[in-house]
Chain A
């Protein structure tokens, strides 16, 4: 059986707000095999980015366990965690604000190698920077340019090079292509796929764009208001969605074709507040199929077929 690289159990992250507890991530569990990609999909405010950050302990979880290579990393001390971060990295959404504007491209890529004392020799370190630039398709002549001189696609390549500069095995990709134009988006997606195969990387791919995630992921988890409401292999999720929210989400994507018209499921209303949620189905008030039970009892996340899970009373 394939090795499980990361496993998350009953992960919770609550934020205290003046109006009550904000349940950003509420009892989320999943696991990822080595070399695979889990797509974490949902709309603004569903808790997908918070989940990514809590896994890397950039935010501390309120409750739950995070196992990386079988070790619960929530028990690790700061210096142990720092060692582990050489393997666990993140790529951010906005290539404009995630790079220091006062550092050159080579300095940005070099910084993690220097700070973690991976390569102490200056010249060798520089060689490694050039190697990384080649790897992500950044021309060497851009070495001494500053981020503001570059376009979004190239900046995102710097972000990727930096994430790969250490002994990287696992990357949380937080909407890495949503700020880019389509033609550039395709270049970056292809690059990330290629690097995954070459370096045996494991990804959590956080996105709101289902067409991107379908292209990229082995398994997909759909989040709604802090909960995973459905999870399955990518192909299965797209061909046999169970949860009404997943169905609506799939039908809402504008498709660039005029051949087949899919009847859109237009949801009523908008996402409700994650502050002090009630114990019922969180999607009930927008759901076209909701019945009394949905407003009274929280649905359980149950197995529906091989590797296909969903939380819904009706389906």
Chain B
């Protein structure tokens, strides 16, 4: 039985610019199980959003180019279908929530019409039925249906993000891609929106790909976690495996960089240096310049996946000969 809603295999994406080619995604495999949430974690420029846009086939081409890879969504091979067929899938089988609720809505169309637009494109309904459904969606995300005819500027940031969630969920997608959905919101509003998303995911029987840089958000909503660095998934596992037996030095660095709110004496241990230049990725491990554990061969050889359990792997030379290697923070 196929239990996967999304399966990506060996995806490679690059952008050709005047200054050269940027290798944004360098051969990644990820999958999202039914009714599960996968967290895709990484910093600016890691390739998270490029991965998401590839799933929707929205990579701007040129300059973007998908070099290789298979993307299978609910059994459909997205790389082999026509653009017309893809249009039917976007917003129906899969939809996406963007980071910035201020710019994702059309300022001159009222929100009710923006919600019913998605419904009437994908479902055979009369305008009245679409309008009724749009009102239901508004109520579902906690906005009174009576505000149907209002415009985006009449809503606050948190409310706008609710409207966007309503649009994304209006056709009951199998997969929801959320790209930093709460980053632009205040903490108390973030808590409201995350709570709403968790609740709706259960109610609508969806899977979710949650793109974020915030390990706190991951701990709250994700079942599985993939850590991305310079276009590679460098560690992946269940929430517990990533949080409790961190393997990759970059993942450890991420945890050490977050101020611990419950222990104010704890020292911040930042990762030194910066992410490598995407125009000019190192031959070996992309993280080796910033890594405190780097070995000689890290500079010259790309690390392979080392498996610690069926679900948990890291791409790191440290474990090649010694699978029991311990990082300093000693979480494993």
Question: A interface vs B, CB < 8 Å?
Answer: 43-44, 151-153, 181-187, 189-190, 208-212, 214-215, 234-235, 238, 248-258, 264, 266-267, 270-271
Contact = CB atoms under 8 A, between A and B. Distances in A.
A155 to B, nearest CB: 12
Contacts of A43: 186-189
B264 A215 contact: yes
B274 interface: yes
Nearest to A44: B186
Given A210-B261, A256-B216, A182 B188 contact: no
Contacts of B214: 254, 256
Nearest to A286: B188
Interface in B259-277: 259-262, 264, 266, 268-272, 274
Given A182-B258, A267-B192, A270-B158, A258 B243 contact: yes
B269 A186 contact: yes
A185 B257 contact: yes
Given A211-B261, A215-B259, A258-B244, A252 B158 contact: no
Given A183-B271, A186-B270, A266-B192, A254 B243 contact: no
Given A211-B260, A256-B214, 15 more contacts: A182-B43, A183-B257, A183-B270, A186-B259, A190-B268, A190-B270, A208-B186, A212-B259, A214-B264, A215-B259, A252-B187, A252-B190, A254-B190, A255-B219, A256-B215
Contacts of B320: none
Contacts of B158: 270
B188 A183 contact: no
B240 A258 contact: yes
B223 to A, nearest CB: 11
Most buried by A among B254, B269, B270: B270
A182 B189 contact: no
A185 B220 CA distance: 22
Given A255-B219, A258-B240, A182 B213 contact: yes
B243 A215 contact: no
B188 A214 contact: no
Contacts of B67: none
Contact of B239 (A153, A214, A249, A258): A258
A255 B221 CA distance: 11
B256 to A, nearest CB: 8
A206 B269 CA distance: 22
Say whether chain A's binding surface is mostly helix, strand, loop, or mixed.
helix
Given A183-B254, A183-B270, A186-B268, A252 B216 contact: no
8 contacts: A183-B253, A184-B43, A184-B274, A208-B186, A249-B188, A254-B194, A256-B243, A267-B192
Contact of A255 (B157, B192, B262, B264): B262
B191 A187 contact: no
B44 interface: yes
A253 B216 contact: yes
Given A182-B258, A183-B43, A235-B264, A210 B187 contact: yes
B279 to A, nearest CB: 13
B21 interface: no
B243 A234 contact: no
Contacts of A256: 214-216, 218-219, 243, 255, 258
B195 interface: yes
Interface in B216-267: 216-220, 239-240, 243-244, 253-262, 264, 266
A271 B218 CA distance: 26
A152 B43 CA distance: 12
A211 B219 contact: no
Contact of B257 (A186, A208, A248, A267): A186
Contacts of B239: 258
B230 to A, nearest CB: 13
B186 A255 contact: no
Given A183-B271, A258-B244, A252 B188 contact: yes
A255 B190 contact: no
A239 to B, nearest CB: 10
Interface string B180-223: 00000011111110110000000000000000011111111000
A189 B216 contact: no
B49 to A, nearest CB: 14
Nearest to B242: A258
B156 interface: yes
Contact of A238 (B189, B243, B264, B274): B264
B28 interface: no
B159 interface: yes
Contact of B274 (A151, A189, A190, A255): A151
A254 B257 contact: no
Contacts of A186: 256-259, 268-271
A211 B215 CA distance: 13
B28 to A, nearest CB: 20
Contacts of B258: 182, 186, 211, 256
Contacts of A189: 259, 268
Contacts of A214: 259, 261, 264
Contacts of B254: 182-183
Contacts of A190: 268, 270
Please provide the 3 A-B residue pairs with the shortest distance between their CB atoms, ordered closest to farther: A254-B216, A186-B270, A256-B215
Contacts of B253: 183
